Structures are given as C-alpha cells and as structure tokens.
C-alpha cells in the first residue's frame, strides 16, 4: 500500500541563496521558507534586506561579495557554525552589462564572469565537501535563456550562463555518488524590476517577447522559486545534471 510522504517538503533543511533578497532570488527564498526550509541569504549590499523581514526567523542575511573568493570557505564555515548543516546551495547572484561587443571591455567581460562563474564556483567548492560528508545535498545554478539561445549585447552574461551548464554537468557526474545532486534552472521572461526596466518603455519589444511564449504571459518570481523547491526536494531525488527551463514554452516557441 502506498504511504504518503512529504516529498516536496524542505522541512529541517537549510539553504544558502546568493542574491536572495531581490528579484528571482527573493522568489526562491520565499518558496524555500514556504516549503518548511530556512534560507540564508548572501548579498553584497544590505539595501534590500528589509524584504526578508516578512520571513522572520526562517531567513538570515550575511553581507558578502561572492567575488571575494579568498574568503568563500570562511563565510561558508561561519554559516555552518551559526546555523548547522547546509543541504542546499542556490547560486543565483549575478550582474548584467548590456553592451555591443565593440564597446564591451575585457574588464566588463571579466566582471560578469567573476560573479556568475568564478564566484559561484568558489562558493560551491566550499560547500560541497560538507554535503559529501553528510551524504546529502542539492546545488542549483541559475542559468538563463541565454544558456541556449543567442541574445545581442550580452556577451559576458551569455558566456557565463552557458558555462553554468558545463560546470553543472561536471559536478553532477563528480558528486552524484556522494548523495549530492547538481542541477540548474533556466528562467524565461519573468516579472521583475529588471524586466520592467527593459520593456515598460518599449511596447514593441514586449509584444515580440509575448509572441515567442506559447502561454502568452510572462512568469512570476515564485515560478522560479517553486521549481527550485522541487529540484531540491526528495520529489526530485533521482534528477541530477539537468537544466530545467521555466519559461512558459519560450524555448520551443516561434
């Protein structure tokens, strides 16, 4: 006889979410807490920490720049000391510099890679031995539509997001035998301040975007959060090395 189990619950689990106080990251943080977990948010600035107040003791904030890779292990050790076992890491922090290739400097390019790829790698490297020792863990990388399709003027961003997929697959193959799963999410067009900044004054672009999405609507940050909860929960216990598009079908739209 089948016995029900809390497959989608994160009860008793603690997650680190980089950039988890704004936009997509805040949606992930809220959903992790809603599923019974505790969220430890890492961000460079305390400016948006007020958004976490609604979550009470279920969320904590640490100011840290993930590009400060010399201190990645230090911040992870501090969080573990303060909050105990870490079973989830969501690499969500990022920056976006939109310039044509002839205007993008090497410094611009490196700055984007350092946040998305180098910073995320360093933090993941610090967390995974802890997860291996506990025989359980889930690492998520916040990929992008640009991991799969071309988008003008974002050479650094698209390079980093495509790089996530290679890093994700390698770590999934390397860590799976230790009970550590590594996956990614590729958000489509989501209702965030960044999205509105790009489209509110450009109705033609908005119509072009909607025309590509079979569901004819943009997503909500909670859609990304719910996907993250699924991939980190026991409901996805046999899913490893996968990038899940959450895009209303945009990748297959015309």
Q: In whole angstroms, what is the distance from residue 251 CA to residue 245 CA?
A: 8
Residue 249, by phi and psi: left (phi above 0), alpha (psi -120 to 50) or beta? left
Q: Which of 62, 157, 164, 238 is catalytic?
A: 157
Q: In whole angstroms, what is the distance from residue 212 CA to residue 30 CA?
A: 29
Burial code (b: 16+ CB inside 10 Å, e: under 16) for 141-168 equals bbbbbbbbeeeeebbbbbebbebbbebb
What is the CA angle 27-35-164, rounded to 5?
50
Examine the residue annotation and report whether 238 is marked as an active-site residue of this protein.
Answer: no
Within 8 A by CB and 6+ apart from 36, the residues are 9, 10, 11, 12, 13
Q: Helix, strand, or coil here: 21?
A: coil
Within 8 A by CB and 6+ apart from 122, the residues are 66, 69, 72
Residues designated catalytic: 157
């Amino acid at each position: 006889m089948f016995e029900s189990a809390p497959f989608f619950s994160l009860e008793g689990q603690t997650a680190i979410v980089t950039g988890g106080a704004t936009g997509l990251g805040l949606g992930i943080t809220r959903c992790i807490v809603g599923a019974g977990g505790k969220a430890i948010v890492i961000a460079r600035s305390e400016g948006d920490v007020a958004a976490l107040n609604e979550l009470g003791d279920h969320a904590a904030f640490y100011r840290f720049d993930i590009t400060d890779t010399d201190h990645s292990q230090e911040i992870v050790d501090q969080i573990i000391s303060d909050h105990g076992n870490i079973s989830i890491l969501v690499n969500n922090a990022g920056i976006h510099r939109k310039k044509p290739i002839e205007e993008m400097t090497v410094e611009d390019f490196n700055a984007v890679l350092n946040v998305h790829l180098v910073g995320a790698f360093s933090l993941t490297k610090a967390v995974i031995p802890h997860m291996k020792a506990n025989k359980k863990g889930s690492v998520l990388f916040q990929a992008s539509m640009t991991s799969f399709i071309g988008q003008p003027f974002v050479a650094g961003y698209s390079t980093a997001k495509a790089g996530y997929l290679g890093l994700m697959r390698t770590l999934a193959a390397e860590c799976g035998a230790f009970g550590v799963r590594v996956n990614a999410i590729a958000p489509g067009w989501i209702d965030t301040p960044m999205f509105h900044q790009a489209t509110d004054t450009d109705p033609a672009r908005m119509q072009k975007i909607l025309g590509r999405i079979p569901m004819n609507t943009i997503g909500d940050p909670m859609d990304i959060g719910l996907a993250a909860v699924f991939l980190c929960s026991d409901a996805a216990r046999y899913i490893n090395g996968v990038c899940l598009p959450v895009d209303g079908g945009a990748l297959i739209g015309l």
